[in-house]
Amino acid sequence: MPTGAPQTAAGTAQVRRPSAVRALVVLLGVTAAATVAVELLNFWYAPEQGYGLAVRTGWALLRTVGFLMLIGHVRRGRVAARPLGLILAVTTVFAVGRLIVPREGVPPLPGLLGFTLLGGLCATVVWLLYRSPGVTAHLVRHRRGLVLADRRLAWREVVPRRPEATGWLLTSRVAALTYSPLMLVPALVAAGAVLDGRLLAVPAVLCWFAAGIAVSYLTLLCTAFLLRGHRWARRLLVVITLGVLAVHLPLCWWLLGLDGLLRDAVPLLAAAALALYSLHRARPTPAHPHPSAG
């Protein structure tokens, strides 16, 4: 029939992702590969390939898993892709930046070139996530889960009954959830001081680990209520952030010195600043759904 071709073309156009989305997926793959290459290059050229650098490099390599998760979110059109991409880009730049800076002297030229390339890739990722109309129109879906429909359980998109959380609230949540790993990595590095005979550091390292684990549960609980519009959760997140900085910064200074303060405190400061700024920009949402919802 004559009308068959247009209908098929229309159906194909609906399934096909926008060109900006396809470009973003490719760019994220390139960024993940570049992250691995730059980190291994930094480790190769580092004058001191010790325990601390190995731990930091291993943690930085795990960020590639985050980029793979982000690719999945983008392909599925998930709303959470934006804040996840932003915090991944920011923390990746800081994580790689702290690896290329040696204890003495200037960074090697290959490391600087790799860092510049990676910084440009991360900036382009953030620009596409927040400035591309095609990507914005694509990232509208929520997570999938089991829902009861027509007296049957079905696996489909779960549209929240509460008012949709703003992008700033989502960004604040994702930034806060990075507090725990950003504390545990330098605590693991500081454990090397115990192996070197600094037995007085054992209680401090154990407290650092305990604080990092506790923060993971606190931020998970707090941000869950934050997205539901509870005002007390906003105040609690500020208290948690200030408490994290009060514990993390002195321990970095005492156990890891100025080098640790620059390498391990600055990334957490960046995440805390992003969380607080996003929380400030976010408009509070009502704690209860609209009567017509559901």
Q: Is the pLDDT of residue 171 over 90?
A: no
Contact of 203 with 192, CB cutoff 8 Å: no
Mean pLDDT of the region 159-177: 75
The pLDDT score that the predictor gives to residue 277 is 94
User: CA torsion sign, 161 to 272 to 237 to 217?
Assistant: positive
Instruction: Say which residue, 283 or 146, is predicted with more confidence.
Output: 283
Q: What is d(CA 277, CA 250) in angstroms, rounded to the nearest whole number?
A: 23
The pLDDT score that the predictor gives to residue 125 is 94
The pLDDT score that the predictor gives to residue 11 is 40
* Per-residue pLDDT band at 278 (split at 50, 70, 90): very high
Q: Is the pLDDT of residue 245 over 60?
A: yes
* Per-residue pLDDT band at 110 (split at 50, 70, 90): confident
In a 3-state reduction of DSSP, which class is residue 264?
helix
Q: What percent of the chain has pLDDT over 70?
A: 74
The pLDDT score that the predictor gives to residue 267 is 85
Mean pLDDT of the region 67-87: 89
Q: What is d(CA 210, CA 221) in angstroms, rounded to the nearest whole number?
A: 17
CA atoms within 13 A on the CB side of 39: 23
Torsion angle defined by CA atoms of residues 230, 235, 241 and 245, in that order, rounded to the nearest 10 degrees: -170
The pLDDT score that the predictor gives to residue 293 is 39
In a 3-state reduction of DSSP, which class is residue 157?
strand
Q: What is d(CA 177, CA 66) in angstroms, rounded to the nearest whole number?
A: 13
